[in-house]
């Protein structure tokens, strides 16, 4: 199975939810239906065939359409129009009307009517009660009586009698019963003399039937359906097309659904044969929507072939012209969306956005797309971003503003920024400003200016092979941002290593303008802001079909009700396990992370693949085998805080040097430690103690180690460690210090309340 494109979700104004995926139809769900279904309605493909039966009052030059209607009233485009049905009928001039009961009509010429024929009389002056629709009787060649009629005045002249057919027979409707989106079928026909206004003649809820008939004359026809408005605008012909199924980004903006960003397909390979129109996929998942797309083979960007049909079960494409290149049993390829119907090739199509009719999120007039001018510096289109009333089209290296009043197609696109956006999920709106990530960094965009904000983390974005961390742009499609209004932060989830899905997040506090880097024990692939018990809550999707409530609780993935043993000291281990003979691990610990917090192998995190009461088996092997000095924590969240570099006071006086830390005490034991680094070294300075000991205030020193353990259960939560070393003003000694604090949470969170450094310049 190939990888899928990243889908997007958007809610319509009526609350219906839509999902676009780029290689299949946009789907809809209203929160009530059992399943998602394709959005929009496919227009009927069959032109109705019309016939007539008997004599009656239907006449004229008639045409018919059919269209489908959903249960909520949404309609499809019209079918192809029927061929013209000409019902000439009989029209005779009236020369006399009796003022009697019944009325007797005399025509100027032989009328040819039979008893019980229906006729329509109009224009009679004087005996006005003769006007109307009647059954006739007492026939002679030029006279007939109107059944159940009675004169109401002396005939003064005028009048015609007309007769057509009594019934129109419709056929070739096509079986539509397999499309569950359709509630009913409407057959529309016009009135004689008007080909712009059609009327609902028949509604059929039996979608399997392919024939129908109607005895409605002009007066009986139903709702009017106008084809073109007074200014020639299309009101019903092509206005209700289905949303474009090859765009993978949709957004809702001012009662319209917008669809942008093509999703070219190049997964797997193809086998192509010279002079053949058949292309066979190699580990592909071609979908039916790829019919009409352009096929490029082996990187030849100048020669393309239009796909005329797709066989999804055999995974073959049929081209409209035979492949002209060299036969290749395993070629590289790319399928790009194109719409030959509107004359847009794939290059223009990928710069084109479509939008629905106002208030009709599933009705797209695909003839009204907005194609932006080509800008070679802009890169590929990546998304759409609404800020208040404004709509911005995002490219890799540019942002354009789409300015329009009523109809987007009548608007203009104006370059708004020389920065771009990585993808549709890498921007977040906060207080009318967008926080956006592109390949250069992260910046604030407010419509008329942009301001870079990622200087502090800029090495991540630069192509510096010596940098410790660098963003892996190969997986930028999977990057995303989420805004957390509770903490006033925005996280950009990124890949720093070779993993496809992000396992790191750049977290920006937009009030205090501070960055931090977060690492997660498993990949976090997507996120969304929702609420939990009425409070804003970030949710993240992850591997193994997990959905995580970010920042909720203090252990990764472990609900408090099923804890079991989650912290202890190893009694044994193998390359793929860790054991604690005193433990009582929960059997449903599978999938949770376990990490070595201190002792041998500290810092390693592994995912649990199975658990017994005393043994945890792991997915991946240990790099360093834990031993009986190793303390472990299941589900613990590791954090690290590092100060900047501070310069020691060099006053020549005896100065106290050290640090004072205040934390919120915990009731459960957990790992917390600090270390200090000196003079720009990343290595912790060793504690100069001759033997391991625990200070009365809860700090635990180990001879020969730089880490000082902090006893988090100490009731005061206050830890102080001072030395009284000092240096004179001119001596060449230690000048700079930096402290690092780290911890791994147990079932309670850690909170650093205060850090005070003594003996340094503020």
Partner 1 sequence: MYLGRYTLGDWVTLKVITRNTSDVPTAPSAAPTVRFYTGSGTTVESTSMPPYEKNIKTGLFILEHFLGSAFAVGQYVALVEETVSSSALKQLYFFEVVASGNNNGAYLNIHYYKAPQSPYIVGLPEDGTLENRKNPRA
DSSP-derived pairing of the beta strands 256-262 and 247-253: antiparallel
- Residue 366 φ then ψ, to 5°: -70, -5
8 binds partner 1 (CB under 8 A): yes
473 binds partner 1 (CB under 8 A): no
State the Cα–Cα distance between residues 760 and 678, nearest whole angstrom: 12
Window of 99-107, 359-367, 520-528, 622-630 that interacts with partner 1 by CB under 8 A: 520-528
The two three-digit tokens of residue 367, written as one number = 């003839």
Report which DSSP code applies to 2.
P
> Which of 215, 537, 650, 702 contacts partner 1 by CB under 8 A?
537
> Which of 466, 468, 511, 545 contacts partner 1 by CB under 8 A?
545
Window of 72-80, 130-138, 532-540, 719-727 that interacts with partner 1 by CB under 8 A: 532-540
Site for partner 1 in 147-176 (CB under 8 A): none
The tally of CA atoms less than 13 A away on the side-chain side of residue 628 is: 3
15 binds partner 1 (CB under 8 A): yes
541 binds partner 1 (CB under 8 A): yes
Indicate the helix (H) or strand (E) that contains 348: helix 346-349
Closest separation in Å from C-beta 747 to partner 1: 18
Question: Rounded to whole angstroms, what are the CA distances from 288 to 24, 181, 312, 536, 610?
Answer: 8, 18, 7, 40, 42
Window of 23-31, 148-156, 508-516, 720-728 that interacts with partner 1 by CB under 8 A: 23-31
Q: Is 225 left (phi over 0), alpha (psi -120 to 50) or beta?
A: beta
> Which of 394, 402, 542, 684 contacts partner 1 by CB under 8 A?
542
Closest separation in Å from C-beta 531 to partner 1: 7
Which one, 38 or 742, has the nearer CB to partner 1?
38
Cis peptide before 102 (omega within 30 of 0): yes
Window of 46-54, 342-350, 521-529, 736-744 that interacts with partner 1 by CB under 8 A: 521-529
Closest separation in Å from C-beta 526 to partner 1: 5
Closest separation in Å from C-beta 523 to partner 1: 6
Per the CB < 8 A criterion, the answer to whether 221 and 199 are in contact is yes
What spatial distance separates the first Cα and last Cα of the chain, rounded to whole Å? 59
Report which DSSP code applies to 636.
B
Closest separation in Å from C-beta 554 to partner 1: 17
586 binds partner 1 (CB under 8 A): no
| Cross-strand bridge partners of residue 616 | 578, 611
State the Cα–Cα distance between residues 634 and 574, nearest whole angstrom: 17
User: Binding pattern to partner 1, positions 402-441, x when CB under 8 A?
Assistant: -----------------------x----------------
- Residue 378 φ then ψ, to 5°: -75, -30
Give the torsion through C-alpha atoms of 131, 132, 137, 141, to 10 deg.
Answer: 60
Indicate the helix (H) or strand (E) that contains 604: none
Closest separation in Å from C-beta 9 to partner 1: 4
> Which of 409, 516, 528, 689 contacts partner 1 by CB under 8 A?
528
531 binds partner 1 (CB under 8 A): yes
The two three-digit tokens of residue 99, written as one number = 């003022």
543 binds partner 1 (CB under 8 A): yes
Q: Is 544 helix (H, G, I), strand (E, B) or coil?
A: helix
> Which of 133, 237, 590, 755 contacts partner 1 by CB under 8 A?
590
Closest separation in Å from C-beta 181 to partner 1: 16
Which one, 56 or 502, has the nearer CB to partner 1?
502
| Of the candidates 718, 710, 703, the residue with the CA atom closest to the CA atom of residue 742 | 710
Which one, 60 or 361, has the nearer CB to partner 1?
361
Window of 10-18, 125-133, 371-379, 563-571 that interacts with partner 1 by CB under 8 A: 10-18
Question: Rounded to whole angstroms, what are the CA distances from 235 to 85, 281, 343, 388?
Answer: 24, 41, 22, 29
Report which DSSP code applies to 111.
-
Question: Rounded to whole angstroms, what are the CA distances from 622 to 533, 601, 605?
Answer: 39, 8, 9
| Of the candidates 747, 723, 719, the residue with the CA atom closest to the CA atom of residue 734 | 723
533 binds partner 1 (CB under 8 A): yes
> Which of 13, 17, 433, 569 contacts partner 1 by CB under 8 A?
17
State the Cα–Cα distance between residues 698 and 714, nearest whole angstrom: 6
Indicate the helix (H) or strand (E) that contains 522: none
561 binds partner 1 (CB under 8 A): no
State the Cα–Cα distance between residues 152 and 129, nearest whole angstrom: 6
> Which of 228, 619, 668, 686 contacts partner 1 by CB under 8 A?
619
Window of 5-13, 177-185, 205-213, 749-757 that interacts with partner 1 by CB under 8 A: 5-13
Count of residues in contact with partner 1, rule CB under 8 A: 62
526 binds partner 1 (CB under 8 A): yes
Residues ≥6 apart with Cβ < 8 Å to 420:
378, 379, 382, 394, 395, 396, 397, 398, 399, 438, 439
532 binds partner 1 (CB under 8 A): yes
Question: Rounded to whole angstroms, what are the CA distances from 493 to 284, 422, 425, 437, 478?
Answer: 29, 12, 10, 11, 8
Counting beta carbons within 10 angstroms of the beta carbon of residue 73, is it exposed (0 to 12), middle (13 to 18) or buried (19 or more)?
exposed
> Which of 529, 662, 718, 755 contacts partner 1 by CB under 8 A?
529
385 binds partner 1 (CB under 8 A): no
501 binds partner 1 (CB under 8 A): yes
Question: Rounded to whole angstroms, what are the CA distances from 751 to 364, 497, 518, 699, 717?
Answer: 53, 29, 16, 17, 10
Window of 255-263, 339-347, 518-526, 685-693 that interacts with partner 1 by CB under 8 A: 518-526
How many CB atoms within 10 Å of residue 639?
A: 17
Which one, 13 or 298, has the nearer CB to partner 1?
298
Site for partner 1 in 242-281 (CB under 8 A): 267-269, 271
Window of 24-32, 166-174, 380-388, 628-636 that interacts with partner 1 by CB under 8 A: 24-32
Closest separation in Å from C-beta 411 to partner 1: 28
> Which of 370, 385, 460, 523 contacts partner 1 by CB under 8 A?
523
72 binds partner 1 (CB under 8 A): no
Place of tokens 């240990």: 622
- Residue 340 φ then ψ, to 5°: -65, -25
Closest separation in Å from C-beta 312 to partner 1: 13
User: Binding pattern to partner 1, positions 309-348, x when CB under 8 A?
Assistant: --------------------xxxx----------------
Per the CB < 8 A criterion, the answer to whether 423 and 476 are in contact is yes
28 binds partner 1 (CB under 8 A): no
Window of 89-97, 249-257, 465-473, 527-535 that interacts with partner 1 by CB under 8 A: 527-535
> Which of 410, 432, 519, 620 contacts partner 1 by CB under 8 A?
620
| Of the candidates 411, 376, 368, the residue with the CA atom closest to the CA atom of residue 259 | 368
Which one, 4 or 87, has the nearer CB to partner 1?
4
What is the binding site for partner 1 (CB under 8 A)?
1, 3-4, 6-9, 11, 15, 17, 19, 21, 27, 29-32, 36, 267-269, 271, 282-283, 298-299, 329-332, 425, 501, 523, 525-533, 537, 539-547, 549, 590-591, 607-610, 617, 619-620
């Amino acid at each position: 199975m190939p990888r899928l494109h990243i889908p997007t979700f958007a809610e319509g104004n009526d609350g219906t939810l839509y999902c676009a995926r780029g290689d299949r139809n946009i789907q809809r769900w209203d929160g009530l239906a059992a399943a998602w279904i394709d959005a929009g309605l496919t227009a009927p493909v069959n032109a109705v065939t019309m016939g007539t039966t008997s004599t009656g009052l239907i006449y004229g030059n008639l045409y018919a359409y059919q269209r489908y209607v959903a249960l909520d009233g949404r309609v499809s485009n019209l079918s192809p129009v029927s061929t013209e049905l000409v019902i000439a009928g009989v029209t005779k001039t009236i020369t006399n009307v009796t003022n009697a009961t019944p009325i007797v009509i005399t025509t100027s010429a032989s009328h040819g009517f039979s008893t019980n024929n229906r006729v329509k009389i109009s224009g009679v002056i004087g005996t006005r009660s003769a006007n109307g629709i009647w059954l006739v009787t007492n026939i002679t060649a030029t006279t007939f009586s109107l059944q159940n009629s009675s004169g109401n005045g002396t005939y003064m002249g005028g009048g015609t009698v007309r007769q057509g057919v009594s019934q129109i027979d419709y056929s070739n409707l096509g079986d539509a019963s397999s499309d569950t989106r359709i509630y009913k079928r409407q057959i529309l026909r016009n009135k004689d003399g008007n080909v712009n206004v059609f009327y609902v003649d028949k509604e059929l809820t039996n979608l399997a039937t392919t024939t129908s008939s109607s005895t409605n004359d002009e007066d009986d026809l139903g709702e009017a359906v106008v084809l073109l408005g007074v200014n020639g605008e299309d009101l019903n012909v092509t206005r209700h097309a289905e949303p474009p199924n090859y765009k993978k980004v949709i957004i809702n903006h001012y009662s319209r659904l917008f669809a942008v960003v093509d999703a070219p397909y190049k997964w797997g390979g193809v086998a192509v044969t010279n002079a053949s129109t058949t292309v066979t996929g190699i580990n592909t998942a071609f979908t039916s929507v790829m019919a009409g797309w352009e096929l490029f083979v082996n990187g030849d960007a100048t020669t393309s072939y239009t796909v005329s049909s797709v066989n999804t079960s055999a995974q073959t494409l049929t081209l409209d012209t035979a492949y002209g290149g060299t036969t290749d049993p395993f070629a590289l390829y790319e399928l790009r969306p194109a719409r030959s119907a509107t004359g847009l090739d794939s290059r223009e199509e990928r710069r084109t956005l479509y939008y629905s009719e106002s208030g009709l999120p599933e009705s797209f007039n695909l003839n009204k797309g907005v194609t932006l001018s080509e800008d070679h510096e802009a890169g590929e289109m990546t998304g759409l971003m609404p800020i208040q009333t404004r709509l911005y089209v995002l490219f890799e290296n540019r942002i354009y503003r789409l300015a329009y009043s009523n109809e987007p197609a009548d608007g203009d696109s104006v370059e708004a920024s020389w920065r771009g956006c990585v993808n549709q999920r890498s921007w977040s709106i906060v207080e009318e400003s967008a926080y956006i990530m592109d390949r250069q960094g992260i910046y604030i965009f407010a419509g008329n200016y942009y301001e870079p904000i990622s200087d502090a983390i800029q090495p991540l974005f630069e192509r510096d092979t010596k940098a410790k961390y660098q963003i892996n742009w190969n997986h930028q499609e999977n990057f995303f941002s989420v805004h957390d209004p509770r903490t006033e932060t925005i996280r950009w989830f990124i890949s720093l290593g070779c993993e496809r899905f992000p396992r790191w997040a750049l977290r920006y506090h937009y009030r205090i303008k501070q960055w931090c880097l977060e690492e997660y024990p498993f990949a976090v692939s997507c996120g969304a802001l929702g609420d939990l018990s009425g409070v804003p809550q970030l949710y993240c999707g992850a591997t193994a079909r997990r959905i995580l409530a970010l920042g909720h609780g203090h252990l990764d993935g472990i609900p408090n009700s099923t804890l079991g043993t989650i912290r202890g000291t190893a009694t044994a281990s193998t390359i793929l396990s860790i054991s604690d003979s005193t433990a009582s691990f929960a059997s449903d610990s599978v999938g949770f992370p376990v990490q070595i917090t201190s002792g041998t192998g500290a810092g390693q995190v592994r995912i649990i693949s199975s658990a017994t009461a005393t043994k945890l088996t792991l997915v991946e092997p240990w790099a360093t085998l834990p031993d009986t000095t190793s303390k472990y924590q299941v589900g613990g969240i590791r954090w690290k805080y590092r100060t900047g570099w501070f310069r020691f006071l060099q006053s020549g006086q005896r100065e106290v040097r050290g640090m004072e830390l205040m934390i919120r005490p915990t009731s459960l034991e957990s790992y917390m430690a600090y270390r200090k680094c000196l003079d720009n070294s990343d290595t912790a300075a060793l504690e100069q103690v001759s033997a391991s000991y625990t200070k009365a205030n809860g700090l635990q020193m180990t001879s020969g180690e730089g880490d000082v353990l902090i006893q988090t259960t100490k009731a005061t939560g206050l830890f102080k460690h001072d030395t009284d070393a000092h240096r004179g003003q001119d001596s060449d000694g230690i000048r700079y210090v930096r402290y690092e604090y780290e911890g791994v949470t147990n079932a309670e969170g850690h909170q650093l309340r205060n850090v005070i450094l003594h003996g340094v310049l503020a």
